[in-house]
A = this chain, B = another copy of it.
C-alpha cells in the first residue's frame, strides 16, 4: 500500500453510526469495498442508498475478500467480540465501535488477540478527536493547568426519556448490563482520562432506572428515532436510565460524572471541567469549537478551534480555519486519518493517540467496577477482583 486510495475498507453495520463511518472514509480517500448489513437484504438496500458498490452477504464473505485490508465494526455491542476475533484471525486491521465488548473477559481476550496479531486495532472513541479535546490534552501534558485536582461533568441525552422510546440498547442481552454508563459514560471517562492523563482507580456508583417498563415496538428501530404508533409489547427494563459516579484518580484527584438518557432537552450533552493547581478548562460537545480556560488572577479565555491558535496536538486534528465550525462528523475524519496513517506505516506510531484495545478494555473494567459499586453501595477499585 502506497497511499490511502490503495487501502481497501469494509464496514460492518449500516445504521446511523455506520453511515457516519462511511462518510468519513470516503472523504479520507480510502477505497470502500463494501458493507455488511444486519441481514443480506438490509445490507443491499443500504448499499444502494449510500452508493456503495457491494453488499457482503456474510462476515465470511467479507473476510474472504482479499481487497479488504481494514474492517470497521459498527454492529450492536453484543456482536463486537465474535466479529473482531474473526477479523483479526483473518489478519485484517480493525476499528471497533465502543464499547469494545459485552464483558471484560471478552475485552481482555481481544486485547491479547490484537497484540499478537500485529494488526492496527482501534476503538472508536471519537470525541477525543474534537480538535479542542486534543488541544486540552496537549495543554495538560505541557503542565499548563498544573497538577489536576478535580474532573467533573456529565453526559446527558433525552432520546429515551419516554416509556414509548425503544432501542436495542435497553435490553441487557443486546446492549450489556449497563446502558447509560456503558453507552455514553465510557465516552466521558475515556475522554477525561485521555485529556488528563489520569486513570480512575476507584469508583462509587449509583444506578437508576426511572422507567421500569417500556413499550417495545414489533419491528426494527433506528437509534435516535422517535416513538411511533406501531404495535408494541411491554418489556421490563433493568438497564440504567441514569448513572451517578464518583471517581478517585491515581494522583489523588477526584471526579464526578452523571449520565442520563432521560434528560428532556439535552440532545447529546457531554461536558467536562478539569481543574488543576494553576488553571481550569471546560468543554461542551454541543459547542465543540469553543474551549473555556479558567484563570484566578486574569480574565478567563474562550479559545476557538483555530489552527493558528492551538498547540501542535490540537492543530493536528483540525481541518478548517477558525470560525468554520467542525462537528461530529469531522471527529471521525480526524480519528480515521490518524489510524490510517498507522495502517499505511504498518504499525502504531508512538505519537498516535487514538484509543487502543487496551483503552477499550480499561472501559470494560471501569464498567465492572461501576456494576459492583452500585450493587454494594461502596467504593470499588477499578481492575480489582470481586
Contacts and interface: CB of A to CB of B under 8 A. Distances in A.
B262 A149 contact: yes
A11 to B, nearest CB: 13
Contact of A264 (B208, B280, B303): B280
Contact of A50 (B29, B162, B306, B308): B29
A302 B299 contact: yes
A269 interface: yes
Interface stretch (A87-95, A167-175, A188-196, A322-330): A322-330
B296 A264 contact: yes
A51 B29 contact: yes
A252 to B, nearest CB: 8
Interface stretch (A19-27, A76-84, A361-369): A19-27
Contacts of A333: 23
A329 B330 contact: yes
21 contacts: A24-B27, A150-B208, A156-B273, A157-B323, A158-B280, A206-B248, A206-B254, A210-B252, A226-B308, A246-B246, A264-B295, A265-B279, A268-B321, A286-B323, A287-B325, A293-B299, A297-B309, A298-B309, A299-B309, A319-B329, A320-B328
Interface of A: 3-5, 16, 20, 23-24, 26-29, 50-53, 149-150, 152, 154, 156-159, 161-162, 204, 206, 208, 210, 223-224, 226, 241-242, 244, 246, 248, 252, 254-256, 258, 260, 262-269, 273, 275-280, 285-289, 292-304, 306, 308-309, 319-330, 333, 377-379
Across the A-B interface, the 5 shortest Cβ-Cβ residue pairs: A265-B294, A268-B323, A267-B323, A29-B51, A327-B327
